[in-house]
A and B are shown apart, each in its own frame.
Chain A
Amino acid sequence: MIPLSWYLIVSASLFSIGLFGVLARKNAIAILMGIELMLNAVNINLVAFWRYLTPEKITGQVFALMVFAVAAAEVAVGLALVISVYRRREIVAADEIDMLKW
């Protein structure tokens, strides 16, 4: 059978891949993709813990659903911001958006 550690290793790897994407990519939308990967890794973790440790309570799945909702909201607003910045300055690279710096 599949021990819990396998799922946790998969989700830890996915989380660190997403972390690398957030820290190293230039394009703002690619950073958002990295954030999505991290949120999905958290979801795998939650559901794995639900299944292995407390399958009689439904709390794990409800928490995962809340993470879905929060991820959707965050992507919507993040992409709206990126598109709005692009409309003004034609910039998508995150480190070139420095209009607030002194």
Chain B
Amino acid sequence: MVSDPFDPVKIIADWLRDLMMNTWNFSGDLAAVILKAIGAFVIAGLVLMIFIVLTWVERKVAARFQDRIGPNRVGPRGVLQPIADALKMVTKEDTTPKNADKVAYNLAPILSVFSVIMMWAVIPFTEKWIGADLNVGVLYIAAVGSFGVLSVLMAGWSSHNKYALLGAFRGVAQLISYEVPLFLSLLVPVLLARNMGVNAIVRAPAHWKWFAWMAPLAVVIYLVSSLAEVGRAPFDLLEAESELVAGYHVEYSGMKFGLFQAGEFLHSFTAGALMAILFFGGWQGPGVDQYPILGLVYMIAKTAVFYFIFIWSRVTFPRVRIDQIMSLNWKFMVPLSLVLLMGIPILDYFFQNDPLRIPVLFGFNVFLAVVALGFASRGVKRGRRPRVRFEGRPVAVPPKEDEVAA
């Protein structure tokens, strides 16, 4: 590694610390706390700024998939459209239902964004730029992800609306069910890297020997579980914009609804970032040793690819019913991820430093996927209703004179 690579964050941090301790005479503790608070503020601000770009990207890409152009009036190629959206949302009337529980009603959208921004505390942008290098980073991500469930429940209950409450119950059932395969597939890179810290997992694979080649089935399980956790299509029964009139956030308007949307988009961006970090090497790439700032570029590029995959699956798949969602989870994803989690450490133990490590693990994943799909297709065939010939009168034809109405 080059002895003194260009690191702007460290330069600014050192200058600030020097300023506080020497010219203003703060104590060491207070300076550390203020620096960390500034760092947290900067990360949270950056994440919220990304939301503005995300709305534009989402609308343009979804439009292109649907063979139309998308917003192109406001600014060149519609780049200023999110600002127009934000202005519209801020100036909308802010209604509150009469018997709503004020504290829970106002707290729910805040919690939904809060849980996503907290995840960014452990995501490494480059090798040295990370909010908090916890050695239990992956578990921290899982913990903070379960905060978002609370916001759904509080939103549904505090609206004092039976249908919002029912939508919230279904939403919570989906969210907590899909946390199980999510956590199990998050554990696979932990097992392969032998470390629970996020930065260590990014550093662990050698160049181009990403964990995605060693555990592609974990990537798929993580992708599907993330889609269900975020509440995006095909699992977007939580909001079901065209059907249930927005489910658990039906009573929200204006900026509070905007916060829910922000939480959802940011959560899918964060899920893409996590996939890039844990499975695809994060900030690693050619040339990061000399120019660490390239790590930021690689990370954003990989995250953008996965965000594109999320948008792609949103515009492609039809919505899945709630009972299909539940049976997919408990009958397919959980056993599959459990068997994967059991098999990968056993194989990895034997092939630890063997050059055959990647092909053997990849082969195991493919074998497991084939077996699982075999089971699943047999289950689907058994569950399908037998097709019966319809013997009655077709409906749109008027009855003949000698027939009575059916």
Chains A and B share a contact (CB less than 8 Å): no
Chain A interface residues toward B at CB < 8 A:
none
Interface residues of B (CB under 8 A from A): none
